[in-house]
Structure 1
Amino acid sequence: MCTAATYKTADFYFGRTLDYEFSYGDEVTVTPRNYPLTFRHASAVSTHYAIIGMAHVAGDYPLYYDAFNEKGLCMAGLNFVGNASYQKPQEDHDNIAQFEFIPWILSQCASVKEARIRLAQMVLTDTPFNEQFAPAQLHWILADKNECIVIEPMADGLHIYDNPVGVLTNNPPFPQQLFSLNNYMNLSPKQPQNTFSADLPLTTYSRGMGALGLPGDLSSASRFARVAFTKSNARSGASELESVSQFFHILGSVDQQRGCCEVSDEKYEITLYTSCCNADKGIYYYTTYENHQITAVDMNRENLDGETLSRFPLVQGEQIRWEN
């Protein structure tokens, strides 16, 4: 289970949590402009936009979980189990396997507006990466500084929704998630007024009671509401440090701790990593479950005209700053 969000101050930020019970061996991976990207049913792309993101690299192919390109277009795939459905390749369409979707879009599109044109001609296929990696059941959030959309492949076709909240979690489908926010329209960062009864002398007894009723459990619907509220009311300075710090606090509202979500005997879903991308400056920030110190990789410090992947294994283990 995962949560993704956008955030805007002076720059545009995008990121996500990846919540799971184990890691495949994730690395921050830079795909330079001249790294050849091959696709199972479409023509290879030899020259393209540079991409940076979190990926599991298998057979020298970057299987991105979330990424953005040098133009500031951002994309992340999140679990959509039980609803995601892929098709067989079709003639007269761009047939793209599920695992190719992020590099296919980010290598060729500079904006959501351009991506919409590609999506109109695309079929997401059920082609597996190999025998070990079956197609993951996902839906995607795609965003730039101007707009945000959600892409959901379902049995009745590919659905594309405008996302005015700039947040995505997992099930149910996005229209239901968005509609559920009606349940919380009374929430406020301000202290509530007594509208219950004029005959009762009701008063607030704690700070923060304007948000009473905001769900605190770990379900995807509750995480959607919680991050939507947190993001909508988040305030920070416009500097890079203030913005990045605030973004991690926004996603920190849905951080999953080991032991709270048991998926099988003695196996627990945790927040393996949290990312924050400055899509304007090309910087990928992250923390991990065992390392709360923010680590950064700047794509512009790599040879973006190169032909090989740049890979950065995640920094694990707490990094504690001693002061005495």
Structure 2
Amino acid sequence: MCTAATYRTKDFYFGRTLDYEFSYGEEITVTPRNYPFSFRYLPEKRKHYAIIGMAHVEEDYPLYYDAVNEKGLGMAGLNFVGNAVYGEVREGKENVAVFELIPYILSQCENAEEARELLGKIQITDTRFKEQLPNGRLHWIIADEKEAITVESGTEGLKIYENAPGVLTNNPPFPMQMFQLNNYMQLSSRQPENLFSDQLSLETYSRGMGALGLPGDLSSASRFVRVAFTKLHARSGEGEADSVGQFFHILGSVEQTRGCCELENGKYEITIYTSCCNATKGIYYYTTYTNRQITAVDMHREKLDGTELIRYPMLEEEQIRLQNA
């Protein structure tokens, strides 16, 4: 499964974990402004905002998992199996296939408000990129430096929710995720007071006891609570290294370790990669399960007025620095 989060210091940061049992060969992909974006039911876009993110590229088309555009708007799709329902093609709507929703939004929206307005005109369809590639059952987080929203397409149509914590995982639906935070309102980063009874002399015996009860399991509901608590209490310096490092610590609180989440086919879910994009500057940072070193791709070092995709495979071999070499 997956977890996404936003973070704000001097700049705005957006990223996610991708938790799954295998990889589709995803790459850090820059789509320049003049790449011809084709859509199944809508006119081709030959001029648009440049985009950087993680994508599986199929037939020279970027199937983005998460990305930001040059204006600082970020978007990520996360599994929403059992709840996601896509519609049929409808007249009077801008029909957008689920696989092209991220490029459709990021190619033309500067901020979350513009994305919200555009989503009001959209019908998300279950059209496949090609028959051999079934669509994921997804919901999405869209965020800029000022706000975040969650987008879910279900049996009742397309719903857009304000996302105050700036966090998204998987099931259950977003309103239920938010409601369960009421169960944890007593958690604190500070040491607790004895409210159990004034007749008993109870004392703290360890640091961090204000967060007793914070869920630690791997379910998406628990990861939502844990990363929301971690993100909302996280503090870092304003510098790039401090901010990026802190963001990876936030998502590190919900990373999946091989062996801890066994699947029916005998495989294990792991955190294949973790991303952190400085959406303000267009720099995409990432780590992988087998390479803990932070690697970066800066979109503004590329020719953003070009017409062809720019692709970088993930560096997955562990890189260890021997200090006393």
Deviation at 1:133, TM superposition (A): 1.0
Distance in 2 between residues matched to 1:282 and 1:243, nearest whole Å: 14
Please state whether the residue corresponding to 1:117 is helix, strand or coil: helix
Kindly indicate whether residue 241 of structure 2 is the aligned counterpart of residue 241 of structure 1: yes
TM-score, length of structure 1 as denominator length: 0.99
Distance in 2 between residues matched to 1:92 and 1:131, nearest whole Å: 27
Distance in 1 between residues matched to 2:83 and 2:181, nearest whole Å: 21
Match of 1:144 in 2: 144
Match of 2:22 in 1: 22
Distance in 2 between residues matched to 1:163 and 1:15, nearest whole Å: 15
Equivalence map 1:1-324=2 (5 Å): 1-324=1-324
Please state whether the residue corresponding to 2:171 is helix, strand or coil: coil
Deviation at 1:266, TM superposition (A): 2.5
Q: Which runs of 4+ in 1 moved over 6 A?
A: none
Please state whether the residue corresponding to 2:107 is helix, strand or coil: helix
Same amino acid, percent of matched pairs: 68
**Unmatched 5+ stretches in structure 2:** none
Distance in 2 between residues matched to 1:154 and 1:265, nearest whole Å: 28
Deviation at 1:264, TM superposition (A): 2.1
Distance in 1 between residues matched to 2:129 and 2:148, nearest whole Å: 28
Please state whether the residue corresponding to 1:90 is helix, strand or coil: coil
TM-score, length of structure 2 as denominator length: 0.99
Deviation at 1:135, TM superposition (A): 1.6
Distance in 1 between residues matched to 2:236 and 2:142, nearest whole Å: 24
Distance in 1 between residues matched to 2:135 and 2:86, nearest whole Å: 9
Please state whether the residue corresponding to 1:245 is helix, strand or coil: helix
Which has the larger displacement, 193-202 or 16-25? 193-202
**Unmatched 5+ stretches in structure 1:** none
Deviation at 1:141, TM superposition (A): 0.0
Task: Note the aligned Cα RMSD (angstroms).
Answer: 0.5
Deviations 1:164-206 (A, max 9, x none): 0000000000000001000000000111010001111111111
Task: Letter of the 1:85 partner, please give it.
Answer: V
Deviation at 1:285, TM superposition (A): 0.1
Which has the larger displacement, 111-120 or 171-180? 111-120
Please state whether the residue corresponding to 2:15 is helix, strand or coil: strand
Task: Letter of the 2:119 partner, please give it.
Answer: L
